[in-house]
Amino acid sequence: MPRLRPSTTPDQDDRVVISGMGMIASVGNDRESVWRAVRQGTSGVRRVAGLPGVPEGLSIAALADVELEFPGQLKVIALALHAAAEAIEDSHIDLRAVDCDRFGCAVSGHMGDAGFVPRYMGRPDLFDPDAIDWWQQWFPSTGCWQVATRFGLHGPRTCHSTACASGLIDFLAAVRLIRDGQCDLALAGSAEAVHPLFAAGFERMRVLAHHEDPALACRPFDRQRSGFVMGEGAAMFVVERLDHALRRGAPIYAEVMAGKMQAEAHHLTGVDVDAEGLAYMITETLRAGRLAPDQIRYINAHGTGTQQNDVMETRGIRRALGPAAERTGVSSTKSMLGHLVNAAGSVELAVTTLALRDGFAPPTINLTDPDPECDLDCIPLVGRTVALEHALKVSVAFGGHMAAVALRRWPDCRSAPLERPARAA
């Protein structure tokens, strides 16, 4: 079967679209079941016990359910492969018909296999003698390698470790690889499983929420918010140059209008509550996408539920959008899915993409007592149907990492005319 080769015309289209998605989280094992639960405001947070190495103080989390392929496989890798398989299938790609030398892979880093540590710390009771050799999964890039190898993707490969912005940054890395002409399409995303070191660190930092009712623990933008809940899951995207997607008749969800990264030179874990960096990044993202502030009708916020983050995001969004902020819905789906750390950006971008597809802005659950300093329309308790043409996803991470992606809703290319819609002025 002949392969689709890249265009050689000088004016090669550099527009990039999302043509496939896979997702798994605590509320569902595939893209549509997760989205249905999020639309309904369903919480995946529950009380847990017996997680190996996890402090007793961590009593609640949003855990995803995935079957390991073999004993000792890291759960985070199983989650990544699960979402990647769904994304490939969803994109209707025939891997025999595309040039896999130009099929890239951008999957974020993860905590490597530290299963050997207890043995050397004198805790053989925590060591699994039947597990595979630790070094086979030790590198943070193992998930990226496994995903690319599973599907025979031989194009450029990237793997970023930028804390809670990792998923969004690797998505942007894949888009850049395509626009630079290094590949025609790429598989991009991230995965996360609760890890003892992360859990212990967050507990010591006192950023984890505690509540008698686990489902009520994470309360972004609420006056009574006390932190976030750790979560698990993964999301993967097939991102593709527009002309390549159209030639193969791919189903298209959205166009990537623009994306920007920025950094705060402020503090390793704290945020600049004046939000100058965040406001600048959002403004630059809109400028690059040729979007006016009033064209953004929905923002999926980072929304951790910590005191600093929620105030900072509110101020940054207000500074960037100006008066248009009054007409923009903002929600945090961490209230339902927990904080997926490395996978937060990709899972929340998938939710944002589906919000565009269906014209539905998901809610921020548990928002019963809005903080006056978080005075945006944070879509409390119940989501709403709204005409959405453009949306924005924002991630803010430890280390000062920040990223934003602006998307444009795309009609189903299987039934819509294939003429190229004009960019927003």
Give yes or no: 339 in active site: yes
* Catalytic option among 100, 144, 164, 413: 164
Size of the chain in residues: 425
Q: Pick the catalytic residue: 82, 195, 302, 401?
A: 302
Cross-strand bridge partners of residue 236: 22, 189
Beta bridge partners of 185: 103, 240
- Please pick, among 110, 339, 390, 401, the residue that the annotation labels catalytic: 339
- Catalytic residue at 302? yes
The catalytic site residues sit at 164, 302, 339
